[in-house]
Amino acid sequence: MTPERRKIVAASVATGTALALTVAKTAIGLATGSLAVMAAAVDSLMDVACSGLNAYFLRIAADPPDAEHAYGHGKAEALSGVIQAVIIAVGGLWLVGRGAWRLAKPEVIRSPEAGVAVTAAALVVSLALVAYLRHEARATRSLALRADAFHYVTDIATNVVAGLALVLYRVLGWSWLDPVASIVIAAYIVVSAVGILRDAGEELLDRGLPRETEDEVKRLLVGFAPEVRGYRAFRSRRAGGTTFLEFRLLVDRNASFERSHEITESAIRRIRERHGPHTEVMIDTDPV
């Protein structure tokens, strides 16, 4: 299965799982009157929207380069991350307001045991889904899947907080625990949205690869051929699962055209062997 197809399958699995969790939490939240469970349901509903967006944008990102998009469509993943961050932040802010309102006007929770049961089941499902999405994100180098996995990390947190609040409510009877738990969940959602937005924005702005990655590539260029004298104008960026590297390779001016071409192809091959076939390497050879 190609990396692009793996991304789409993973996003589709996440969407279906989030939809099932949303339905279950909403039903129990309405039945019990627990704002914490409803907050967890809203979090899952955002997961549905975000995973659905991932599935859509990953299909766009998988499209090959064309006449209008010579560098491919990889940045569609980062665009998906920006939209997801906005959705998450809006939902989180709404939950903060709703929690504050419930603090002012407390309500009795009916059958908190049902809420504990649904949050416990959702916790197990979310843990499995996070492990799966993180594995696929590493395997395909997908920002969109990494953002999706982070959503479900927040889902784990919301399930723990909501379940714990209901347990304490059942034992102690403190009505303020439920809205406070929903506010804690909402704050975590907003913070996670800011992190996703930052990462997606950096990719859209063509931020270079991490310094250690660039240094590793530069070390590959030193001494691999006796005619190589160094490099300059080194630049890098990433779009989706594709890494772009560009630099000018300094070669002894006495080297023939054929030898310079051979050295360039060797450099590209060495880089792709280390960093994967989805690495686009653009080299200009300068005689020195």
Tokens of residue 175, six digits: 């009505």
The confidence score (pLDDT) of residue 128 equals 92
Tokens of residue 37, six digits: 């469970």
- Give the H/E segment covering residue 208: none
Q: How confident is the model over 22-44, as pLDDT tens digits?
A: 898 888 888 887 777 777 787 77
* Number of residues that make up the chain: 288
Least confident of 57-71, 160-174, 236-250: 57-71
DSSP three-state, residue 153: helix
* DSSP, res 221: T
Least confident of 70-74, 155-159, 227-231: 70-74
* Residue ending a domain, choose from 204, 233, 264: 204
Long-range contacts of 167-172 (CB under 8 A, 24+ apart): 167/112, 167/116, 169/109, 169/112, 170/112, 170/113, 170/116
Total domains present in the chain: 2
- Give the residue numbers spanning the domain of 222: 211-287
Q: What is d(CA 253, CA 154) in angstroms, rounded to the nearest whole number?
A: 57
Q: What is the CATH number of the domain that holds 108?
A: 1.20.1510.10
Mean pLDDT, range 273-277, rounded to an integer:
79
**Is residue 77 located within the same domain as residue 131?**
yes
* Residue ending a domain, choose from 186, 204, 222: 204
pLDDT at 108 over 70: no
Question: Which pLDDT band, with edges at 50, 70 and 90, does 107 fall under?
Answer: low
**Is residue 133 located within the same domain as residue 186?**
yes
**Is residue 200 located within the same domain as residue 216?**
no
**Is residue 77 located within the same domain as residue 115?**
yes
Mean pLDDT, range 177-191, rounded to an integer:
76
* Residue ending a domain, choose from 157, 178, 204: 204
Q: What is d(CA 44, CA 219) in angstroms, rounded to the nearest whole number?
A: 45
Query: Which position has the higher pLDDT, 247 or 73?
Result: 247
Q: What is the CATH number of the domain that holds 233?
A: 3.30.70.1350
Question: Which pLDDT band, with edges at 50, 70 and 90, does 73 fall under?
Answer: low
Pick from 215, 250, 246: which is nearest to 229 by CA?
A: 250
Percent residues over pLDDT 90 in the chain: 1
Q: How confident is the model over 87-97, as pLDDT tens digits?
A: 778 877 877 77
**Is residue 51 located within the same domain as residue 132?**
yes
Q: What is the mean pLDDT of the chain?
A: 79
The confidence score (pLDDT) of residue 68 equals 67
Q: What one-letter code names the amino acid at 96?
A: V
**Is residue 50 located within the same domain as residue 184?**
yes
Is the Cβ–Cβ distance between 251 and 260 less than 8 Å? yes
The confidence score (pLDDT) of residue 71 equals 64
The confidence score (pLDDT) of residue 241 equals 66
**Is residue 51 located within the same domain as residue 104?**
yes
Q: What is d(CA 2, CA 242) in angstroms, rounded to the nearest whole number?
A: 14
* DSSP, res 107: -
Q: What is d(CA 160, CA 152) in angstroms, rounded to the nearest whole number?
A: 12
